[in-house]
Amino acid sequence: MSGLLITLVVIAALVMFVVRLYNNLVEGRNGYQNAFAQIDVQLTRRYDLIPNLVETAKGYMAHEKETLEAVINARNVAVSGLNAAKVDPTNPEAMKQLGNAEQGLSGALGRLFALSEAYPDLKANENMMQLSEELTTTENKVSFARQAYNDMVMMYNNLRESVPSNFIAGRFNFVAAELLEIESEEKREVPKVEF
């Protein structure tokens, strides 16, 4: 009888161990999906600010129509990318598309702000200054949210790939999560030093 009891205790301990590993994987997946929801909030705020910014700039930059249209087009592509990623944050292709769309939008906004430097009245416009400040604040929040998301993805992927949880992850189809990488052109440029 004691041999049967020992066997049952070992089996129960093994089942509890497997259940704990499974729950850790679920917790990790839910954590990075929640972190993505925070990115969604900040990116949506960013996308909502952009039409107001463009509308304010239109009156001053009438002959810079291509730049204004490029910003709106890049915003629309980014909104589509965000919507695709919201449907399934576990889809690596959707995350890559969102990262590329965000990179394109950042570039278009950078060109808009660079052009606005040539329009002193636009730079001095109170509405433009307020929108620029809100956009800058939102950009910072996006960066923090993206960092938190990428940290959660790394934690989940590490858990998913570590022994023994990798056996559970493979058996129950816990797929790898994709980092949200948004490369900025400024990071890639070689700094110019002038004397």
CA pair distance 94, 119, nearest whole angstrom: 38
Residue 146 lies in a domain: yes
pLDDT of residue 194: 45
Residue 73 lies in a domain: yes
Residue 13 lies in a domain: no
pLDDT of residue 184: 59
CA pair distance 151, 169, nearest whole angstrom: 19
Residue 5 lies in a domain: no
pLDDT of residue 129: 83
pTM summary value:
0.77
Residue 64 lies in a domain: yes
pLDDT of residue 188: 42
- Range list of H helices, the chain: 2-58, 65-87, 92-116, 120-124, 126-161, 165-171, 185-188
Residue 189 lies in a domain: no
Query: Which residue bears the tokens 């949506």?
Result: 44
DSSP secondary-structure letter at 39? Answer: H
Which structural domain, as residue segments, surrounds residue 144?
22-182
pLDDT tens for 90-139 read 888 999 999 999 999 999 998 888 888 888 777 777 888 888 888 889 98
Residue 155 lies in a domain: yes
Residue 75 lies in a domain: yes
| CATH number of the domain enclosing 38 | 1.20.1440.20
Domain total in the chain:
1
Which residues of the chain fall short of a pLDDT of 50?
186-195
Cα atoms in the 13 Å half-sphere on the side-chain side of 44: 9
